[in-house]
Structure 1
Amino acid sequence: MTALGFLYPGHSGEDDYPRIEQLLGSDIRVDLVHTDTGGDAHRVDALREMGSPRQLEESTAELRLAGADAVVWACTSGGFVHGWEGAQEQVRFLARTAGLPASSTSFAFVHAAKELGLRRVAIGTTYPEDVARLFADFLRTGGLETVSVAGSGVVTAAEAGTWTETEVLALARAADHPDAEAVLLPGTALHTAAHIPVLEKELGKPLLTASQVTVWEGLRLADRRVNAPELGALFTREPVIQA
């Protein structure tokens, strides 16, 4: 049994995780521990506080006691708003506190894109413009070029969590660009796990979503590879060998 531990802020799109667990197979367990958001606003100051050591420490220890093999901070914006170096320090803190391999959704996007051999991506986000720009900056530091950004200015994760397949599809379409090799939907509040095959068929290219790459990152840390076509190209393609 492989046990994957995820720290998830508040309550919005967490239904994706048990759904993904069902698609992965009976020998993988997904453990989700909710952290205190300290507020639900998509503001840079609030997001930095959400991912601070004070907010994460207690929940990280809980995952260690639950027997997790790896831990991932399942909040994209609560990672990249700290910048590349700050997000690395955040992950190091999680690893020290849990005594486990650790990562975050922000780094999961970079690692997943490299797994697929991507260089140019489009971003579809519910974030305000200033927060979306910080994500594009983070990706650039990780070696990815952002060719387009579509935002919607949603103020809270709770609101994003109410979005249906129709709204998620509209966001992905708005983000897509002819030069983009994939579309990224970074909001962990969005429900996307049930829609990935439909979205990839519509776009004609890989789709990377927050819950999808977060679980993939946990599997990567645990040195597990799972073929799960219903979770899209990321879970079906052979890894790209980097030169």
Structure 2
Amino acid sequence: MWQPDGWDVRVRIGVLTPHADVGPESELRAMAPAGVGLHYARVPFGAMGSGGAMEPTIALAAVRAFAENPQVDRAAELLGAAPVAAIGYAFTSSSYVTGARGEAYLLDRLRERAHGLPVVAPCAAAVEALRSLGVGRIALVDPPWFDETLNELGRGYYEEAGFEVPYAAPCGLPSGQTLITPEDLHAWVAGVVGDAAEAVVIGGNGFRAVGVIQALEATLGRPVLTANQVLLWSALRAAGAGADGVEGYGRLFTEAV
């Protein structure tokens, strides 16, 4: 008699996302199992304009500014007042720029502003996921709007965490969120990732990528991690909820310990 109305969920996850970026919402909604509610707060991001318009290469200054007080802190405070069990910070590149120590400081700061709720971020989540999968060597693929400097900072982040990174590069596809297709991304990654890496890490929460995880794992025979995939995995764990019902989005949800 009654139609589903979205109220009956087992857990609610909050997400901090750039103001004009629909990528995290789209991908997290696609992956989230029934019974998981997703609730978003938007944070101003200087590299994006109206309608999601973005420069072909994002400036490091805009990346740094996104993670600074007061904008993201205020968003976390407001989101933390909602009945959510954990918050995901859907922005990869600031962790590249600040490194793991700066990322940890940011998460501690946001946790305090969010009334003590756990706050997780994609790079720290990827490190935890890789260790859970027993991976030591990775290939890092970043969005085409990450320049070589930002990509190298990403390589440094994972090397500092103890991983070997035999391959790291921005994706060679056209720079623009709406220009990326699963078919093209699959073909590009499969064509450049060699045998040295035990897993592929695809950075960038605005990078359309979760739809190729299963196909890439079948093609490459190794785990594939993406920014929004690991963010959901980590947020569910932080919220004390299992990942039951997440299907078709990689070995992470079936093999990580």
Please give the residue correspondences for 1:206-221 in structure 2 after superposition, counting only pairs within 5 Å: 206-221=223-238
Aligned residue among 190, 194, 199 for 2:207: 190
Distance 1:123 1:171, change over 3 A: farther
Match of 1:222 among 236, 239, 245: 239
Aligned residue pairs total 234
TM-score between both structures, scaled by the size of structure 2: 0.85
Query: Max radius of gyration: which structure?
Result: 2
Partners of 1:154 and 1:134 in 2: how far apart? Answer: 20
Alpha carbon RMSD of aligned pairs, Å?
A: 1.9
Q: Could you tell me which amino acid in structure 1 is paired with residue 28 of structure 2?
A: Y
Structure 2 equivalent of residue 55 of structure 1: 71
Tell me the distance in 2 between the aligned counterparts of 1:175 and 1:45. Answer: 30
Whether 1:135 aligns to 2:146 is no
Residue 36 of structure 1 aligns to which amino acid in structure 2?
A: P
Deviation (angstroms), 1:219: 1.0
CA positional deviation for 1:238: 4.4
Structure 1 vs Structure 2: percent identity of aligned residues? 26
1:145 is aligned to 164
Give CA-to-partner distance per residue, 1:39-62, whole Å, 9 cap, x none.
Answer: 235222211111212230221122
Is 1:34 aligned to residue 42 of structure 2?
Answer: yes
Could you tell me whether the CA contact under 8 Å between 2:177 and 2:207 is conserved in 1?
A: yes
> Structure 1: how far apart are the matches of 2:192 and 2:154?
14
Q: Check 1:75–1:171 CA distance in 2 against 1; reply closer, same or farther (3 A cut).
A: farther
2:30 aligned residue: 19
- Indicate if the aligned counterparts of 1:122 and 1:175 stay in contact, CA closer than 8 A: no
Shift, 1:153, TM fit: 6.8
Partner of 1:77: 93
Pair 98,66 (structure 1): closer, same or farther in 2 beyond 3 Å = same
List runs of 5+ in structure 1 lacking aligned partners.
none
Q: Which runs of 5+ in 2 are unaligned?
A: 1-9, 49-56
How many angstroms apart in 2 are the aligned matches of 1:134 and 1:161? 25
Letter in 2 for 1:29: G
- Pair 1:154–1:198, CA change in 2 (3 A): closer
